[in-house]
Amino acid sequence: MILCHLTSPTIDRYLSVVKTPRTLIESLSETLSEQFSKLTPDEQFLDKFQENFRRMTRRFDTPGPEVRVCETFEIEGVEVRLFVPFGPLPTVGPTIIYAHGGGFVSCDTHTHEGIIRRLANASFCRVLAVEYRLAPKHPFPAAPDDVETVLHWALDARGESRGIDGNKLVVAGDSAGGNIAAWLAQKYRNRIKAQVLFYPLMQLVDVKPANPGPQDWLQIGTVALKYIQDHYVAGADAKDTKVSPLFEDDLDGMPPAYVLTCGLDPLRDEGKLYAEKLKASGTTVVQLYEKTMPHGFLNFAKAFPRANTVPMEAADFVRAQFPILPQVKKARP
């Protein structure tokens, strides 16, 4: 979400932030902060915001692998896209419910299709991706409510005709979508088999990292998170675990978790803290730390080759939860 604010030249600077002189970064920070201060939640801005992200993904991402089926339909008024990969899938089998990132105010399953296709292809799982409503037109709790509606549908075995086993579900998401997936895993811990959290946004009380580093000099994360506070949280209780899953203290019986955090990510500390809390509760956690990666890198496979392989590694984790699935697979190109 944070990278999608920027123009292409600014992206190039951001990607080399650790090699950039501090004086230049501070100057750029002032310019960006001034620009962000003028942002308003009108449709024109959001349309431009979305198109900027699409342009960046077209430039820096590679097409995801082919899938056998990609179909769009509605579940109780919520649009979803079902991705069915190639391979020896069971007639009714494990399915990943996926919530895309975008700070609750932008993006969709199309901007995140590369991630979704890689995860589906490598896991041998169907992926049901949710087009949840976005703020500011639809502030909290619209987004988590929409994803919960889809999860309910799957849990109630209403997706069997589409190959979805309601007893073998995984919740997953990146950034804001990781926030939703974490909350759903907490609420439905006895029915969810696993959770996959890519650089999750775990709280919306504090917008600045507790331990700022050179990667925070641009202050892009601070401004973006403040925007989300104003237009997504929009006066709701930010300490509510439905907004900030990090604050859930009862984590007994949580499903196994795969948690990705990044060194150049303003959200790195909260993602790491949540993984540690899960471990302390006795939850099985696979924790991946990408020291040189920024927030949102999974959308930019041309710039970051690890964006191709991280979803495959997460898929290994998912397959390990379901013996019914092939445990060794050569990923399709």
Residues carrying an active site annotation:
175
Name the one residue in this structure whose structure tokens are 């087009």: 131
* CA angle 169–175–178, rounded 5-degree value: 25
Q: Per residue, what are the HEC states of the chain? A: CCHHHCCHHHHHHHHCHHHCCHHHHHHHHHHHHHHHHCCCCCHHHHHHHHHHHHHHHHHHCCCCCCCCEEEEEEECCEEEEEEECCCCCCCCEEEEEEECCCCCCCCCCCCCHHHHHHHHHHHCCEEEEEECCCCCCCCCCHHHHHHHHHHHHHHCCCCHHHCEEEEEEEEEEECHHHHHHHHHHHHCCCCCCEEEEECCCCCCCCCCCCCCCHHHCCCHHHHHHHHHHHHHHCCCCCCCCCCCHHHCCCCCCCCCEEEEEEEECCCHHHHHHHHHHHHHCCCCEEEEEEEEEECCHHHCCCCCCHHHHHHHHHHHHHHHCCCCCCCCCCCCC
Q: Is the distance from CB of 299 to CB of 61 less than 8 angstroms?
A: yes
- What are the structure tokens assigned to 111, written together? 């901007």
* Nearest to 130, CA basis, from 92, 90, 156, 95: 95
